[in-house]
Amino acid sequence: LSNSNPNAGIPKVAQTGETEVIYDITDDILKGLSTSESHLKAMRSFKLRSGISVPLKANEQILGVLTFLYAESGRRY
């Protein structure tokens, strides 16, 4: 999950190198991540349940962030 807030989600993981787990993706979280009403509607349609973002590192340098999401299966991290 990504947003423009550097203190949460993918930006936070990329900056700190620490894994972030969202055990329960609530509608409030989706509202905070959305950039418009149509974006929020699209995110709701995926029925996201939980997610994990992990830093991709090489030689202690963060190269990127990999995010896995559970949706319609109902499974959670």
Which phi and psi angles does 22 have, rounded to 5°?
A: -110, 105
Measure the CA–CA gap between 49 and 59, rounded to whole angstroms: 33
Encoding tokens for residue 54?
């992990």
- What pLDDT score does 72 carry? 82
Confidence of residue 77 (pLDDT cuts 50, 70, 90): confident
pLDDT in tens, 20-50: 999 999 999 999 888 899 999 999 999 999 9
Spell out the alpha helix ranges (H) of the chain. 9-16, 27-33, 37-45
Sheet holding 20-22, edge to edge: 20-22, 50-58, 61-70
